[in-house]
Amino acid sequence: MSAMTAALRIPDPSGLVRRHGGDPVAWRTLPGLADYVETGAAMEARVEWIIAGTAPEAVWLLEHPPLYTAGTSARPSDLLEPGRLPVFATGRGGQYTYHGPGQRIAYVMLNLAERTPDLRRYVATLEDWVIATLRRFGVAGERREDRVGVWVRRPGKAEAKIAAIGIRVRRWVTFHGIALNVDPALSDFDGIVPCGVTGLGVTSFADLGIGVTMAEVDAVLRAEFVRRFGPVEG
């Protein structure tokens, strides 16, 4: 399938809005650099509350200190510099990725049973969310059928990933989410094979010469999220 065909895979940008209304999604921006273990435990707890019906769905925007995470498909050989940064095993799908300051992470906790219980559509909609956000800043992001994430073509260079996606689902409630490179230390990606993909690059808004603040990115992420998933609160 061509990139253009893939880009048309979701004709309805509001396809994952809740079918029967319900509470708005709780939208929260965490201050500072969020501890990976503590945040992961809080996310696990929130997922259980959503399953139990005692808390609304949520999106948390945050940054982590510099670290690597290993998804459920991570290959040990893809950790090129084991002592460079802390490494955390995680239950999300995918392989190794980097998190650090300057990267906007969105942990997305939605109940797909109340929306559309279709994981492929959910991942594609996350990609579409990122692509629409990039478009607002003049960046042409694209999806690929053979690799998850959002990619940018660079004249004279290999195409590069600007956003990674890794999810986990429990009883149709999603967690983990996206990592969008605003202005992280791209050199830290050198310690891994990012997402198990060789021969391609990693980029960011700053690397593409686009000066944008995290607050500006957050505002657009929120607006484009609402178009696809429905109202938020907070």
Active site residues: 195
Residues 152, 208: contact at Cβ < 8 Å?
yes
- Asked if 232 contacts 133 with a C-beta cutoff of 8 angstroms, the reply is no
* CA–CA gap between residue 191 and residue 9 (Å, rounded): 34
Pick from 225, 202, 187, 7: which is nearest to 81 by CA? 187
Give the angle subtended at the CA of 90 by the CAs of 124 and 206, to the nearest 5°: 60
| 70: helix, strand or coil | strand
- Rounded to whole angstroms, the maximal C-alpha distance in the chain is 52
State how far the Cα of 110 lies from the Cα of 145, in Å rounded to an integer. Answer: 24
User: Pairing between strand 25-33 and 58-63?
Assistant: parallel
Task: Quote the distance between the C-alpha of residue 182 and its chain's center.
Answer: 12
The CA–CA distances, whole Å, from 77 to 82, 143, 191, 221 equal: 10, 26, 11, 34
The rounded distance, in Å, linking the Cα atoms of 139 and 152 is 8
